[in-house]
């Protein structure tokens, strides 16, 4: 399997890359700074550029079978960077006839178990995270209107720790779920790439 991976230098993306290489897959990565790649292998094909450039996004995907996105939000925060990058991924995939996309988003776009409303709409949702959650919501809206077989993996607070088993719930966080490791989320995203599970769904994951 050939995988196109966006966000490979990030804290989740590096674990997606690691899992794919461990299983012997070829991975095309689009990065702005190749020196930040934590893994090197003949199975990694590196493209230098930005997800805001739809042409290099499409070029990265050529000959690939599936796409994973762990694109992060820039610091300092720049509105629409993530949603525009996602729009470019959708455009390129539909142009090339690719179907399977698994991407990482935030738990703010999941439903609150008590109210049924989006977590980002809750009065207890941390206002500092609202700009990020709204950008993830725009990402979801773009995918909903696409023709792709997409899945969004939505963890709560993430931490650097060894991978631990994840609990999974559709459209909500697992009961009492408060955190997940980058390693576990990356491995879970990788597993979904070769699966038809959770298509057109947002998946809450937590330890």
Tens digits of residue pLDDT in 52-74: 999 999 999 999 999 999 998 76
Distance separating alpha carbons of residues 68 and 100, to the nearest angstrom: 8
Report the length, in residues, of the chain: 207
Residue pair 16/189 in contact by the 8 Å Cβ criterion: yes
Distance separating alpha carbons of residues 107 and 82, to the nearest angstrom: 15
Distance separating alpha carbons of residues 14 and 117, to the nearest angstrom: 33
Give pLDDT tens digits for 88-114. Answer: 999 999 999 999 999 999 999 999 999
> Closest Cα to residue 182, out of 56, 58, 10, 54?
10
Distance separating alpha carbons of residues 138 and 180, to the nearest angstrom: 23
Report, as ranges of residue numbers, the positions in the chain whose pLDDT lies below 70. 74-77, 79
What's residue 171's pLDDT?
Answer: 98
DSSP letter assigned to residue 178: -
pTM of the complete model = 0.96
What's residue 67's pLDDT?
Answer: 98
What's residue 23's pLDDT?
Answer: 97
Other Cβ atoms closer than 10 A to 69? 25
């Amino acid at each position: 399997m050939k995988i196109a991976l966006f966000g490979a230098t990030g804290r989740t993306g590096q674990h997606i890359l690691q899992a794919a290489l461990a299983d012997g897959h070829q991975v095309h990565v689009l990065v702005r700074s190749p020196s930040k790649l934590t893994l090197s292998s003949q199975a990694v094909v590196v493209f230098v550029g930005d997800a805001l450039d739809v042409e290099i996004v499409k070029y990265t995907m050529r000959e690939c079978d599936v796409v994973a996105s762990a694109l992060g939000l820039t610091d300092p925060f720049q509105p629409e960077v993530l949603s525009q990058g996602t729009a470019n991924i959708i455009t390129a995939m539909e142009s090339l006839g690719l179907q399977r996309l698994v991407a990482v988003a935030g738990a703010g776009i999941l439903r609150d178990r008590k109210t049924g409303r989006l977590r980002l709409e809750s009065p207890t949702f941390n206002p500092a995270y609202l700009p990020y959650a709204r950008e993830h919501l725009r990402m979801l809206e773009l995918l909903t209107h696409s023709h792709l077989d997409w899945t969004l993996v939505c963890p709560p607070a993430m931490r650097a720790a060894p991978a631990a088993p994840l609990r999974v719930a559709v459209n909500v966080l697992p009961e009492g779920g408060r955190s997940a490791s980058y390693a576990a989320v990356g491995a879970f995203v990788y597993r979904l790439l070769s699966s038809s599970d959770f298509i057109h769904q947002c998946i809450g994951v937590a330890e």
